[in-house]
Chains A and B, each alone.
Chain A
């Protein structure tokens, strides 16, 4: 479980996040949604420790991350898997080497076991016979899947996913969403997804956090989302005509 308590962050004179409080439960797909520039990526970076909050704390299973020593932080980070918006695969390494990377750095197991583990992870995300290709030789969807394989290589307790569907076609987006949901259940991870994609939100969001102007504006489930009368949330969700049609149909029914 990850808890965020009273988290605030400023960059220079700009207040980006103000007094964010949230709980992200284990075995749940938690989603952070909001407009571009609302502060959701900064919130995610504060949670994973890439930014230090000016105020407030992030607790990993009850222990404050920013109060930990370097060794403790390193141990927590080894239990974090993250899929970046651009996949962030290492260009100079092949698909297999990318997935092997965290194992080589941290795992204490023979090389053959590492290879087995990497192949299991790649198979889990349906990447087969692509071991020797470089990231540049893969499609966007494949890169995301290899990114997920790398993220789960160390069997993470916490999974962070930044804009998993950006640049992907709707069909591939659904594959990635399903994969995130399945892996969350399979590994019982605390999963946090940052997204704009309303289809993902409706399909996989169990706990949704809406960030507006750097503040937590709304929190609830995907069922609550359509019924909410929160003005800013509605403006965000129903900005697209498809979602407006869904709402109108629901009202008619």
Chain B
């Protein structure tokens, strides 16, 4: 019953969030600010993770398929496929759920306990729309760019690891990343990213919006935002993979 209550309240909050904005120009400005806060400011961690993960995937693939029957370029192929299909869209989204999700829940939760959301409501502002809608739009617009940058950097990290350690040649790696490339896989990854961005923004905002109590509860909401966003992302990942790839 408790789960059904939260699901019901989540959809009611979404309904409120997507109702007509009071002043579109204010929302547009807030969306741009949120793109900077939620997206551009996450670029550093995304870049760092992607470079190292690409490098690790390349080294691990080589050490696990070290057989004379398997050609060296397969390492590049495997690194590219795992990056595009899973690492960049899913793992980066899980990381963003931790960074951005906790930020969203803490910000909105603090506003709730400091009565700032009540202040918005009393002024006649649709507080859900004003606070949450720009975050949803910003995440859905900026996260695909983050994931594309991640794809590039991860594959580049793999290349650096390949030539740096000498486990395979740069030529073999480059041949591998061009072998059997299916452009639809990038589309699939970007569809997943947009869905995950929606999940991160809305689940985290829900946790923050219904925070009750004080600073301790803001912390709890923030933790819940990360945990529930991750759970929903993993479930959605399975569902989308089945729908889009099979």
Contact = CB atoms under 8 A, between A and B. Distances in A.
Interface of A: 48-50, 73-78, 80, 82, 84-86, 88-91, 101-102, 104-106, 154, 160
Contacts of B23: 104-106
A103 to B, nearest CB: 11
Nearest to A76: B124
B115 A88 contact: yes
Interface string B112-147: 001110110111110000000000000000000000
6 contacts: A49-B121, A80-B122, A85-B115, A90-B111, A91-B111, A105-B22
Interface of B: 22-23, 26, 110-111, 114-116, 118-119, 121-125
Q: Is chain B's binding surface mostly helix, strand, loop or mixed?
A: helix
A107 to B, nearest CB: 10
B208 to A, nearest CB: 14
A88 B114 contact: yes
A105 B119 contact: no
Contact of A77 (B110, B114, B116, B124): B124
Given A86-B115, A88-B114, A90-B116, A104 B26 contact: yes
B123 A78 contact: yes
Contact of A50 (B22, B114, B122, B125): B122
Contacts of A76: 124
A49 B123 CA distance: 11
A82 B119 contact: yes
Nearest to B23: A105
A77 B22 contact: no
B123 A88 contact: no
A88 B124 contact: no
A88 B121 contact: no
A91 B106 CA distance: 13
Contact of A82 (B26, B110, B122): B122
A50 B121 CA distance: 8
Contact of A78 (B110, B118, B124): B124
Contact of B22 (A73, A88, A91, A106): A106
Given A78-B124, A106-B123, 19 more contacts: A48-B122, A49-B121, A73-B124, A76-B124, A77-B121, A84-B115, A84-B118, A85-B115, A86-B114, A88-B114, A88-B115, A88-B118, A88-B119, A91-B116, A102-B123, A104-B26, A106-B23, A106-B124, A154-B123
